[in-house]
Amino acid sequence: MNQDHSNPTWNELVKSESSELPLEPLPWSKLGRVQVIKNWVSEVIDLTQTKASLNDWNLVGHAIVLIHNDVDDCRKILQRAAADIGFDFTYFDEHFIQENFSGESISAQCDKATLVYLEPGNWMKNVEEIESQDSETLRTLQDNISHMVRQFSPELPIIFCTSIEKYEDLSTKFRKQGLFDRRFLVIKPSLEETAINFLEGLGPDICGDSLKGDLGKLGKLIDLEFDDKRRLGLVTIRLQRLARREKRKVEFLDLVEIAMRGSVESDVYPEKTPEVLRYVAVHEAGHATVAILDSRGENVPEYATIIEGEDFNGLVADSFAYHYSKADKKTYADFRHQIRVTLGGRVAEHLVYGAENVRLGSAKADLTKATDLCSQVFGNRGISINMETTQGASENLAIDAELTDANLTRIENMTRDFLARQYAIVFELLSRNKEFFEAIVENLSKQRLLNQKDLKTIYEACNVGYSLKTEEHIK
């Protein structure tokens, strides 16, 4: 509805945008770690059951901010809150706010007590951050919203809510006493909680033991690969169709395969020649071998495959239990391990076929990933290329606030030097453990897919240990 010359009433503007919400509000148990919001709801309920004054409402808060990056989650949380309080729930999307709140002053008058969720968007930015020609419109819009919040009446309460990733992203216009002066941080659910919610959505009857057996590991896989809820929904229906078609339960490896390959369904790709398959097996075995050896047996991949996909010839999936064990702690050693695993495929081809016979395009994605990671770490994490030494650990502590030509050149030189050193170390690691590496190549060439159990069996049969006790001799 576009603004015209008349002054619309609040009732004319109210439009429920709840078509994507559940018909019934979700229980709090499905909404994450939101006890702090439940506590606020209890405070509001207490006020509705007494003859509360405006000062009482000001203290409890009648314009709140959820610090959270998921708008859909916030809508569901606030729908639940409104239901518990006994208020109507109204949702205004960003476009509606821009179209209807930037004209003449609007009176917030409603037939029933209401909780209103204003979708985050440009309306909440600082005026100084936008183009000058739009600043007056934004200033008027923010004045109107502020006016509506300040019109609050204890007799017919209208509670305004919005959400933002960081409170600092909300205009200082609204960060004032009497406006959006109460904020709640919505804490991300634990990995185990993420896994439980996924299993419930998938359906307990079709979940195999390997999917249910390690909730932390499952949660880490979802966190790393499916943090987009839209994509997770597509994955869920894909797995449900798989279970129905094959008349079996879904296992952890099914989810890993979708994480690596995507949810698209296709026919089997035409068979490659034995020579090409051998090259792919060598490449993927290089990644898998380095993952296992450089982690001293902790990062045994979920699987290694030479089965072709849309944009790859083979894949190796890191151990999600290994990632889970690291929690949110990532050290220089973890970064270095990631670089070595990434280089493992290219090095393996070099070792087996010689440098002149390395395939030109085989490691492009790997090298791009390694380069980007190094650039970030050396430019913004205070990490040097000589972290293994006491003196070297202090060589690169200044963070590059501006990426000048000089800084970019310096970071590029560090990246090239570091990757060259790690390449030499990985070459040495594979050379010294060639029996183990070749065993993976042979098994992968025959079976086309090795799961984590297969790789552990090969590792134990070869009785290998981490042979690089020191790296100082490798330059």
Q: Kindly report the length of the chain.
A: 475
The answer, yes or no, to whether residue 11 has pLDDT greater than 60, is no
CA distance 395 to 234: 47
The answer, yes or no, to whether residue 5 has pLDDT greater than 50, is no
The answer, yes or no, to whether residue 167 has pLDDT greater than 90, is no
Max Cα-Cα span within the chain: 84
CA distance 251 to 453: 14
- pLDDT band for position 267 (cuts 50, 70, 90): low
Instruction: State how beta strands 63-67 and 158-164 pair.
Output: parallel
- What does residue 155 show for φ and ψ, rounded to 5 degrees? -70, -35
CA distance 50 to 47: 5
Q: Report the candidate in 179, 176, 172, 168 with the shortest Cα–Cα distance to residue 118.
A: 179
Write the single-letter amino acid at 315.
L
List the alpha helices (DSSP H) in 389-433.
405-432
The answer, yes or no, to whether residue 85 has pLDDT greater than 90, is yes
Which percentage of the chain shows pLDDT scores above 90?
46
Residue 219's contacts (CB-CB under 8 Å, 6 or more residues apart) are 190, 191, 192, 193, 194, 195, 198, 324
What is the per-residue pLDDT for 108?
Answer: 57
Q: Are 245 and 280 in contact (CB under 8 A)?
A: no
Residue 448's contacts (CB-CB under 8 Å, 6 or more residues apart) are 305, 306, 307
Tell me the range of 106-115, 219-228, 429-438, 442-451 where mean pLDDT is highest.
429-438
228 half-sphere exposure, CB direction, 13 A CA radius: 6
* Region label for 297, one of left (φ > 0), alpha (ψ between -120 and 50) or beta (otherwise): left
What is the per-residue pLDDT for 293?
Answer: 94
Compute the mean pLDDT over every residue in the chain, rounded to the nearest whole number: 84
Give 449-458 contacts, CB < 8 A, sequence gap 24+.
449/303, 449/304, 449/305, 449/306, 449/307, 450/288, 450/303, 450/304, 450/305, 451/253, 451/302, 451/303, 452/300, 452/301, 452/302, 452/303, 452/319, 455/288, 455/292, 455/300, 455/301, 455/304, 456/300
Give the Cβ contact number of residue 459 at 10 Å: 19
Q: Report the candidate in 162, 138, 143, 167 with the shortest Cα–Cα distance to residue 62.
A: 162
- What does residue 368 show for φ and ψ, rounded to 5 degrees? -65, -45
| N-term to C-term CA, the chain | 69
Residue 381's contacts (CB-CB under 8 Å, 6 or more residues apart) are 399
Q: Are 133 and 37 in contact (CB under 8 A)?
A: no
- What does residue 89 show for φ and ψ, rounded to 5 degrees? -120, 125
What's this model's pTM, rounded to 2 decimal places? Answer: 0.62
The answer, yes or no, to whether residue 2 has pLDDT greater than 50, is no
What is the per-residue pLDDT for 471?
Answer: 46
CA distance 394 to 105: 58
CA distance 280 to 272: 10
3-state secondary structure of 314: coil
The answer, yes or no, to whether residue 288 has pLDDT greater than 80, is yes
Q: Are 142 and 174 in contact (CB under 8 A)?
A: yes
The answer, yes or no, to whether residue 467 has pLDDT greater than 50, is no
CA distance 7 to 10: 10
- What tokens were used for 473? 């001799």
198-227 average pLDDT score: 86
Fold for the domain defined by 10-185 = Rossmann fold (3.40.50)
DSSP 7: -
Q: Are 150 and 37 in contact (CB under 8 A)?
A: no
* Sequence ranges of the domains in the chain: 10-185, 191-261, 274-462
- pLDDT band for position 131 (cuts 50, 70, 90): low
Which percentage of the chain shows pLDDT scores above 70?
86
pLDDT tens digits, one per residue of 145-156: 999 999 899 999
- What does residue 470 show for φ and ψ, rounded to 5 degrees? -145, 155
CA distance 162 to 94: 11
Write the single-letter amino acid at 166.
K
Second CATH level (architecture) for the domain 274-462: Up-down Bundle (1.20)
